[in-house]
Amino acid sequence: MQNNLAIGILAHVDAGKTTLSEAMLFKAGHLKRLGRVDHRDTFLDTNEMERRRGITVFSKQAILSFGESTFTLIDTPGHIDFSGEAERTLSVLDYAILVISGSDGVQGHTETLWQLLAQYNIPTFLFVNKMDLPETSRNALLEDIKKQLHENCISFSDRQNDRGFEEEIAMCDEETLADFLKNDRIDDAAVASLIRERKLFPCFFGSALKLKGVDDFLNGLQRYTATPDYPDEFGAMVYKISRDAQNNRLTHLKVTGGTLTVKDSLSNTNSARLDNLSGELPWAEKVNQIRIYSGEKYQTTDKAFPGTICAVTGLNHTYPGLGLGVQNSYHSPTLEPVLSFRLILPESYDPHVALRQLRELEEEDPLLAISWNQQTQEIHLQLMGEVQMEVFSQIVSDRFGMEITFGKGKVVYKETISEPVIGMAHFEPLRHYAEVHILMEPAERGSGLHFDTACSEDILARNWQQSILSHLKEREHVGVLAGMPITDMKITLLTGKAHNKHTEGGDFRQAAYRAIRQGLMQAKCLLLEPWYQFRLNIPNESVGRAMTDLQRITDDIFLSSSDDSRTFLTGSAPAVQLQNYSSEIASYTRGQGRLSYTFMGFAPCHNQEAILSEQNYDAQRDVENPSDSVFCFDGASVIVKWDEVKEHIHLNSGFVIPQEGQQSTEAAQAVYRANTHAESPKKSQADSTLSLDKASSSLDKELQEIYEKTYGPVKRRDFLPKPIRAHKKTEPMPLKGPAPLIYEKPDYLLVDGYNIIYAWEDLNILSQDNMDAARHMLMDILSNYREFHDREIILVFDAYRVKGGITKTERYHNITVVYTKQAETADTYIEKTTYQMGKKHRVTVASADGTIQLIIGGHGALRITPRALRDEIEQTDADISDIIKKNHQRAKLSSRITLPK
């Protein structure tokens, strides 16, 4: 008995896919009444928007039992704008049904679906629909299908007892042909095997609306399908995320091995992912409920067996394409949007709230690629076309009550590299430490980003390597040509360094990000644009005009076929060049021409210089994506430009990129891995990093040199002087009468950020060129100052002109940074804060605004001028230098550390 075969139904829009699903369910006895798309009452179009538009937007399933077989039918969207939803279902299919319209034949999107089915290696049945319409010829259609799709597409309609039918099947495979000649027959098992191996593609003809050919088709499915073998160990493939009417998060998956039981604990920590150091943060969650859907209704079950398509609740970390248990995750989708749009929110809507809500939709459709532009304070997303744009707007309105519009669509560009390069970065603000070296190599077009490590765990502990890989994966990295996302690269961790006391996870995040950018700044970069494969069907009299137009667009043009009246031209061209060409074709062919195109992938941009000039992107001014490193010299943090990092870097990975004509980069990596894993000294993480607390312990030569280069000669703890305060605190003078006010700890220093920036000459000059850089420099100065003063620092920047702004507080190293909300100045925030804190804490306000003294004085706070604050900071820096010099002198009197040979 056959059980739980997952069969997906795919088609070009309006081919009759949903109608065929309805007919199959009706003929199998699961529906009492046959629904129709135009009547808005089909079983699988459960969403009101789908019924209203007459198209499928979301993939849905139905259970179909026929004879001894049980199928899970998955109806997928046919419109090209929702092809991403269709592609996500392919990872869980045992078989596919490709529906072709008898009136239109093989269309552009039909070819795209055929290529996807081949890529995912899915056995496929074909159903040619609408054969009840006039001027449909079975023989002509079959010939076109053989020509456009595969020569082994063979008609199965009303031919099961035809000897010529068996001969056609035998010709599909040499071994089958030999058996046929020997035995003079082909059994059903042999036919099913050929279908399973994609050597044979059965074609059935009929009319789903008129129920013609549907019984024959169902019999063919039952007769020529076979249940695959499943492993005993648990495995599952996630293909979809959705939410029910109660907003419960549903993870749609297929069980590909073992058994799934309610209350089972699922996690992403299977051995394959751990061994590959994928960088994923581990999680484990319990299955609360298992649902078997059929249409919009479902039944719950305690167990799901192999082959079952189900939806489970209780999982919050899953995503489409994730493999659970022994199941591997599948690769990135082939189909991607080529247009990016700016989302325009209602005037009063908080963009941060909107972004959080839209992330929920991005979980369900990852191809939306929702992003937040910090500099412009805008939300951007990627869409396939106008229909998806309209549907997305309706979904947002229905689910969140938010009415959105879109800016003008722009073509999505990407960036890559043409040659290998090593990127390196060092991140060492005071009390932080991380260094990362990575190898970046160009990869095959369309392969996306792949991450790996060649670093020995004796050099950098496993947890730090996982942290680096996790940080590399967690964000979308942009290139240095136009600030577009990077793609088609293999990024390999070569080496890195941690500090056993001062390194935190965020340090490696900064070092990894900067290493990517530093490598890109050195690399030979390419701008990529989306390309389409096109097929132009035009009358013969319009061929000359079409060839002239296409030759202006691309050199890749072929005469596919022609007959007495029509010509087919095929080729590939940049997507931006074909965007508006359909309307031109309709004009000069008087509506008789038809252009169909499918996404081919990203290729080098045909007008790179023009696009770069239009984008006007300056990588060195992109403060959100810095390429420089941060070193610590003489106790102070110093920013080192990307092109000078190599001179100051602490490590040498030892990896050399092979020159042209030498061994391949892959071979060089293999040698590098072998050498570093074999020759790395066996030592603990504590021994492999600097230790300031135990300076008397033995340090290897390399670390000794690094430390002395940054801080001076190593000294023993015994001879360190006690810390010296930069300024002696003045105790309150005793007063007559009531007892003096006793303040609670800690003391607070509130700094009016922009007031200080404009008051200090160096920051003022910098702010005229780059205000964000001036803000970060002030934050770094105050962070260093805070290390030697026992009081909390709150740095306040007003954002009263930022529309819709909300109060935002963040921790920058050891200080607090506050951005005020809309219509609130820094003075207002400081006044409110000193009133709240001044009753219990000693509060000082740094500002040049004399009028604020009248206000804060009444709250018990003091004011310090920008000049006085700068003097105090400079005095602190001088005291630090004196401490270092005295430590050097004392170290000479101490016993020297003997370095291990």
- pLDDT(432) > 80: yes
What CA–CA distance (Å, rounded) separates 538 from 544? Answer: 11
Contact 13, 109 (CB under 8 A): yes
Query: What mean pLDDT comes out for the span 217-228?
Result: 92
Residue 663 has pLDDT above 90, yes or no: no
pLDDT band at 347 (very low <50, low <70, confident <90, very high): confident
Categorize the per-residue pLDDT at 221 as very low, low, confident or very high, splitting at 50, 70 and 90: very high
pLDDT at position 743 is 65
Average pLDDT, the chain: 83
- pLDDT surpassing 90 at residue 877: no
Question: Tell me, what DSSP letter sits at residue 151?
Answer: T
Out of 216-220, 465-469, 514-518, 764-768, pick the least confident. Answer: 764-768
pLDDT, tens digit (0-9, with 9 covering 90-100), for 24-34: 999 998 888 88
Query: In whole angstroms, how far apart are CA 374 and each of 371, 511, 738?
Result: 9, 21, 53
What percent of the chain has a predicted confidence (pLDDT) above 70? 84
Q: What's the pLDDT score for residue 23?
A: 92
* Mean local confidence (pLDDT), 76-104: 90
pLDDT surpassing 50 at residue 421: yes
pLDDT above 90 (res 738): no
Residues 6+ apart with CB under 8 A from 535: 108, 111, 560, 568, 569, 570, 595, 596, 597
Both tokens assigned to 195? 């279908």
The per-residue pLDDT for 169 is: 92
The confidence band for 722, taking pLDDT boundaries of 50, 70 and 90, is: very low
DSSP string, 275-343: HTT--PPP-EEE--EEEEEETTEEEEESEE-TT-EEEEES-SS--TT-EEETPPPP---S----EEEEE
CA distance 573 to 531: 6
What pLDDT is recorded for position 213? 92
Residue 519, pLDDT above cutoff 60: yes
Examine the pLDDT at 698 and tell me if it is beyond 50. Answer: no
Tell me, what's the pLDDT at 712?
53
Q: How far is CA 66 from CA 29, 43, 588, 859, in A?
A: 9, 18, 51, 82
User: Between these two residues, 104 and 678, which has the higher pLDDT value?
Assistant: 104
Instruction: Identify the DSSP state of 855.
Output: H
Q: Which of 729, 708, 474, 516 is nearest to 619 (CA)?
A: 516
- Average pLDDT value for residue range 239-264: 93
Whether 729 has a pLDDT exceeding 50, the answer reads: no
- pLDDT at residue 160, as a whole number: 61
Tell me the two tokens of residue 9. Answer: 């139904």
pLDDT, residue 418, reads: 94
Tell me the mean pLDDT in the region 207-219. Answer: 93
Question: Residue 683 has what pLDDT?
Answer: 36
Buried b (16+ CB within 10 A) or exposed e, 747-771: bbbbbbbbbbbebbeebeebbeeee
> H or E stretch including 102?
none
* E-only strand ranges, 734-854: 744-752, 791-797, 808-812, 815-819, 841-846
pLDDT digits (tens, 9 = 90+) for 51-62: 777 778 888 899
Read off the pLDDT of residues 233-248 as tens digits, 9 standing for 90 and up.
Answer: 999 999 999 999 898 9
Give the H/E segment covering residue 483: none
Reported as a pLDDT band with limits 50, 70 and 90, residue 280 is low
pLDDT value of position 518: 97
Which range (137-146, 186-195, 220-229, 581-590) has the least confidence?
581-590
Whole-angstrom distance, CA of residue 750 vs CA of residue 293: 59
Query: What pLDDT sits at residue 735?
Result: 33
Residue 204, pLDDT > 90, answer yes
Residue 895 pLDDT greater than 70, yes or no: no
Q: Please tell me the distance from the alpha carbon of residue 122 to that of residue 8, in angstroms, as a whole number.
A: 10
Q: Is 134 helix (H, G, I), strand (E, B) or coil?
A: coil
Angle between helices 174-183 and 188-196 (to 10 degrees): 170
**Per-residue pLDDT at 493:** 95
Range from 699-708, 755-764, 819-828 carrying the lowest mean pLDDT: 699-708
CB 695 within 8 A of CB 717: yes
Q: What are phi and psi of 499, to 5 degrees?
A: -115, 130
Nearest alpha-carbon partner for 585 in 543, 531, 532: 543
- In this predicted structure, what is the pLDDT of residue 235? 94
In this prediction, residues 580-586 reach a mean pLDDT of: 83
Confidence at 460, pLDDT banded by 50, 70, 90: very high
In this model, does residue 2 exceed pLDDT 80?
Answer: no
Distance CA 634, CA 630 (A): 13
| Separation in Å, CA 838 to CA 187, 372, 792, 831, 857 | 91, 38, 14, 10, 10
Instruction: Note the helical H segments in 787-865.
Output: 826-837, 851-857
Beta strands in 93-177 (DSSP E): 95-101, 124-129, 153-155
Who wins on pLDDT, 711 or 103?
103
Higher pLDDT, 893 or 356: 356
